[in-house]
Chain A
Amino acid sequence: MTQTYLTDVVRDAVGTECSRTVSYPIEASAIRKWALAVYWPEPAPQVFMDAAYAPEDFDPFAWGPASYESLLEGDDGSVIVRHGINERALGFPEWKFRAGLNGGMNCTYGVRMHVGDVITDVKSVGEYTERQGRNGLMLITQSISTWTNQKGELVKRTVNAGIRY
């Protein structure tokens, strides 16, 4: 039975930047289709049909990024981790869990995304904590995704929480 998940390699990793993903330039048609999909079956607001800017939840990485690089030493980036961080490449132990749960998302928004913007997503290691629960020792993790545009302005910072046991 696990005594603790929070070994030195895990504690020392907090704050480490793991990957940099860059989007293709955002196009009007992608904003339109996103809006049509999320408002269906009602029409999407005209501001999105005109692609004045994108809905906050818009994902310019859908269908694939323009580029992906790992920022971790010894990781050639051939394994693309689209969501979250590459725990293997960080040298974390190969934990075995019975279950994993999405603990929720917390987003802080900066500037809006516009047609022509190129978005960079840097993923980093957030807090790793643990607590005893009904299901035994639970590992509670955060992965952080920071989006900036081509001017370096903050677009969005997302903290994704996960619970594993």
Chain B
Amino acid sequence: MADSNISEAMKAAVGTETSRSTSYPISESDIRKWAIAVYWPEKAPAVFTDPAAAAKTVHGRMVAPEEFNPFAWAAAKNEFLLTGGLPSRMVNDPDSSERALGIEGPGLKFMLNGGMICEYGVRMGVGDVITSTNSIGEYSEREGRLGLMLFSRGISTWVNQNGDMVKKTTSTLIRY
């Protein structure tokens, strides 16, 4: 097996929080429009459009579709938590996330979208304020058809104003 592409610095970076965003309070109209758009041209389920119908469900209030994005168009606050990053060497630099952390990346040439997995917690509803924190996920590697492939993960964790987990998204990048 070729030398590992995962440096000690990269291993040490796992868990580092890179940015945080806070949403505006979720409104009824945001939920209604999202539901109209994703169910179009059929009518969206009443739980997403009618507060009276929604109040009768197990949620007791209007909740958003699980994949709803409360950060669309604007966030109430955006914070970048990293300092001392290295500049990108090129457009779409495969090492961009390591360089943003201020460390050298493995210098691999090719990138592929390795997919996304979401785990859902509590539902988002009217009035909720969601905080999203991005962090560096685990690195792993394995030999494949294309050679030694590096899997790196970006984690996005959403919590509501009560600190309840709303969603955890892990996005995987494959480099080789």
Q: Which residues in A have some Cβ–Cβ distance to B below 8 Å?
A: 24-25, 27-30, 32-33, 36, 49, 63-64
Q: Are A63 and B32 in contact (CB under 8 A)?
A: yes
Partner of B29, one of A29, A36, A49: A29
Partner of B28, one of A27, A32, A33, A36: A27
B131 to chain A, nearest CB (A): 17
Cβ-based interface call for B142 (8 A):
no
B interface residues, tally (CB under 8 Å): 12
Given contacts A32-B73, A32-B74, A36-B73, contact A24 B28 (CB under 8 A): yes
Query: Which A residues are CB-close (under 8 A) to B29?
Result: 24, 27, 29-30, 63
Q: Are A33 and B36 in contact (CB under 8 A)?
A: no
* Chain A binding surface SS class: helix
Query: Which B residues are CB-close (under 8 A) to A30?
Result: 27, 29
Given contacts A63-B36, A64-B36, contact A28 B73 (CB under 8 A): no
Q: Are A28 and B27 in contact (CB under 8 A)?
A: yes
CB nearest to A36 among chain B residues: B73
Would you list which residues of chain B between 12 and 28 have a CB under 8 Å from chain A?
Answer: 24-28
Would you list which residues of chain B between 26 and 79 have a CB under 8 Å from chain A?
Answer: 26-30, 32-33, 36, 73-74
